[in-house]
Amino acid sequence: MNQDMKIFEKSESEVRSYVRSFPTIFTKTKGYKMWDKAGNEYIDFFSGAGALNYGHNNDHMKQKLIDYITNDGITHSLDMASAAKAEFLEKFQEIILKPRDLDYKIMFPGPTGTNTVESALKLARKVTGRTDVISFTNGFHGMTIGSLSVTGNAMKRKGAGIPLQNVVTMPYDNYVDDQSSVDYLERFLEDSGSGVDIPAAIILETVQGEGGINAASFEWIKKIENVCKRWGILLIVDDVQAGVGRTGTFFSFEPADIKPDIVCMSKSISGYGLPFAITLIRPEIDQFAPGEHNGTFRGNNHAFVTATAALDYWTDDKLENSVKQKSQTIMTFLHKMVENYPELQGEVRGRGFMVGIASDVDGLANKIAAKAFENGLIMETSGPNDEVFKLFPPLTIDDEGLTKGLAIIEQSIKDVIK
């Protein structure tokens, strides 16, 4: 077996832990396109699971990074102050937080999504002096033990080997919309006198990504915030996947008109696919003492540089408007697919550029995603039974790329159900 085939067989590493498999070896990428070793071109409707919202090798971020490296800028500074870090902190306040009337302190919790979730859970427990955290069925928050404990997916939790202990989750169904889940939650809290502990926090995704593109209504999100306020529970919004414009606004919760106590962000926050995460903390609950939450790779200055450059996309509403307008095109297309191909037994889900079709036919979403790959488009499936095929184009995709991508999806649906 040659070296390439060995890599392909392993796919990701020397052990196999991802479920997906795109059977080729990628060599090059730009914008919404990727190329493999054989020279085949693919349209990327995956975007690194939301880590590449601005497309691959985005010229603006790339140039800033090249300039920075050429000038021997600091690469790693751990917790030391650096010019690149200071610039990011200042610009994030100016461009993102102030115009939205949001008052947060910015923390660097470690380089990945799970690190920001860990910091949020720890802080919520420290601030409230309570233990439990409520999360929702099909929520996904990460793979380390804390974030996994609030992840509502039995298969993923089994990866912990033994049942998770001392970290409490209260998953329940009816995530989406309806009053019954709010009533249930209130009832649960009212019963606290009978031995149920009031939780430290409620953690939620406004649109569940890994859990199957389940979009909560803004009314529901607002109601959850009200419950949190009434009971003195901290509200953590995990915007790792839904944030940075993926659902049409910088923060996915903006249209719900809420102000979470803690916001978790990673994936596209660096703008260039570099590992980077931030935790936004309401100033009154900034209670970590020095040394209580640290980590070696919290000072990746290359990520500060690209993350700062990425903020330039948010100085006006051009990107936001483009996402909103293209999202309409995608939604119209998806509804047409469900209508024209009843064999899909499909349901359109999502918001913005975080959308997909859930199929009631066992295995069909995976077949369509695999066929799409053969036809030159990369997308993945999600949901507890991989029943949703997910459309996650870069936010910067142009009309031509979008039209071509949607055409491949329709062709792939036809190929599979014929």
Residues that bind ligand PMP (CB under 6 A): 49, 112-114, 117, 140-142, 205, 209-210, 238, 240-241, 266
Indicate the residue whose CB is closest to ligand PMP.
113
- Strands 234-238, 201-204: pairing kind: parallel
> Burial of 280 by CB count in 10 Å (0-12 exposed, 13-18 middle, 19+ buried)?
buried
Q: How far is CA 312 from CA 42, 52, 57, 214, 375, in A?
A: 28, 16, 16, 30, 35
User: What distance in Å separates the CA atoms of residue 337 and residue 344, rounded to the nearest whole number?
Assistant: 8
CB of 144 to ligand PMP, least distance (A): 8
Least distance in angstroms from the C-beta of 211 to ligand PMP: 9
Q: What is the dihedral of CA 233, 205, 274, 327, to 10 degrees?
A: -140
In the bound state with ligand PMP, the residue whose beta carbon lies nearer, of 110 and 401, is 110
Least distance to ligand PMP from the beta carbon of 106, Å? 18
For residues 13 and 71, which CB has a smaller minimum distance to ligand PMP in the complex?
13
How near is the Cβ of 139 to ligand PMP at its closest, in Å?
A: 8
Question: Nearest distance from residue 335's CB to ligand PMP, in Å?
Answer: 25
Residue 407 contacts by C-beta under 8 Å, 6 or more apart in sequence? none
Sequence length of the chain is 418
Angle at Cα 33 formed by Cα 389 and Cα 55, nearest 5°?
A: 85
DSSP assigned state of 96: I
Q: Which is nearer to ligand PMP, 273 or 401 (CB)?
A: 273
- Residue among 34 and 354 whose Cβ is closer to ligand PMP: 354
Nearer to ligand PMP, 53 or 412 (CB): 53
Smaller CB distance to ligand PMP: residue 268 or 308?
Answer: 268
Minimum CB separation from ligand PMP for residue 208, in Å? 8
* Closer of 114 and 381 to ligand PMP (Cβ): 114
**Least CB distance to ligand PMP at residue 263 (A):** 12
Q: How many helices (H) and strands (E) does the chain have?
A: 13, 16
Q: Counting beta carbons within 10 angstroms of the beta carbon of residue 370, is it exposed (0 to 12), middle (13 to 18) or buried (19 or more)?
A: middle
DSSP class of residue 94 equals I
